[in-house]
Amino acid sequence: MKKIVTALMEQGKGILAADESNPTANERFSALGIEPTEENRRRYRELLLTTPGIEKYLSGVILYDETIRQKTTQGVSFPEWLQSQNILVGIKVDEGLEEIPEVQNGKVTKGLDGLGKRVKEYTEMGAVFAKWRAVAVVGDGYADPAIKENAKRLAEYASVCQEHSVVPMVEPEVLMDGTHSAEDAEGAIIETVAIVCDQLQQSGVALEAVILKTAMSVSGKEAVGRADADEVAERTVRALKTAVPDTMGGVVFLSGGQSPEEAVKNLNAIARLEPHPWPITFSFSRALQSPVLAEWKGKDENADEAQALFLRRVALAIAADSGAYSESMEAFG
């Protein structure tokens, strides 16, 4: 598992989160006038995964249950294709959010039932790492029972993964929704991530074989006077150094509703504060895909332009991960 972590966190590469659930993918398709069918989802995923040159920039891809079972137009399974490009196969193993009676006004992530059996099946398909997402809202704090319940479930999922020699990517996402400040987000990340890391250690999970996927300390989407990249970076790094043990295998950042430009600016500022106790990179979804999906629109004649745009967005994220991004690169690629 340590070798897998090292490969995933390789300098100069990032991780694509292509694990949107079918309802989420369908919603994004419908907004652009793309028919929300299984075949169109397959076509879109093939467009992303077969983009020429992408193997230079991606160490891994997180797939969804439907995606890991799909094939290219030539009949090659997506996991086999990724493996042929030396890209590691990941899989989303949680089953979304649920409300439980003992947690009022809070949501926890489900999916523990039958998890071991599912993880075993996914490993047989080629998966070597697995992601589980939980969510927290700024302002919940230590006393919120949903955070504690989610931490317990994240630890149990991580334990199951490691029993099957699969690297767990633990994602306690502090949501960007609301009018909160970057300072508020910093506090929420410290509280949430500290509880999760403590629970992982109490459960005997080997942190060196875990990757933490985390939000950045950004202002809420509706906040007035949102924090700039330097402030986001300072608060993010301080929060993680406070909450995350140095033994963590790696830290990857989600884009979490940020625009593509905002996400890379903030990542770039975080990278410029290196060295950090753990290797860092990105695991973006919408920040990489939103422009690509809008360019493609479900039409084959747009595929080449969409793939070129995808490669460019990934390359910009890679530049940001090394602290070498500049806004002028947006204009000139």
- Does residue 48 carry a pLDDT above 60? yes
Q: Are 220 and 178 in contact (CB under 8 A)?
A: yes
pLDDT of residue 96: 93
For residue 82, name the pLDDT band (cuts at 50, 70, 90): very high
Q: What residues are annotated to the active site?
A: 171, 213
Q: For residue range 6-17, list pLDDT tens digits in order.
A: 999 999 999 999
pTM: 0.96
**Residue in 124, 195, 204 with CA at minimum distance from that of residue 166:** 124
Banded pLDDT at 332 (limits 50, 70, 90): low
pLDDT (mean) for 276-297: 97
> What pLDDT does 138 receive?
87
- The 10s digit of each residue's pLDDT in 183-192 is 999 999 999 9
pLDDT band at 140 (very low <50, low <70, confident <90, very high): low
The confidence band for 106, taking pLDDT boundaries of 50, 70 and 90, is: confident
Closest CA to 232 of 250, 212, 256: 256
Q: Is the pLDDT of residue 99 over 90?
A: no
Q: Is 168 left (phi over 0), alpha (psi -120 to 50) or beta?
A: beta
| pLDDT per residue as tens digits for the range 174-225 | 999 989 999 999 999 999 999 999 999 999 999 999 999 999 999 999 998 8
Eight-state DSSP code of residue 113: T
All residues at 6 or more sequence positions from 128 whose CB lies less than 8 Å from its CB, including other chains:
4, 88, 89, 90, 166, 167
With beta carbons less than 8 A apart as the criterion, state whether 287 and 258 touch.
yes
The tally of CA atoms less than 13 A away on the side-chain side of residue 11 is 7
- Percentage of the chain surpassing pLDDT 90? 87
Place of tokens 């028919």: 35
Distance (Å, rounded) from C-alpha 269 to C-alpha 273?
A: 7
pLDDT digits (tens, 9 = 90+) for 55-79: 999 999 999 999 999 999 999 999 9
All domains of the chain in start order, with CATH: 2-332 (3.20.20.70)
Check whether 333 has a pLDDT greater than 50. no
Three-state secondary structure of 143-171: CCHHHHHHHHHHHHHHHHHHHCCCEEEEE
Q: Residue 280: beta bridge partners?
A: 251
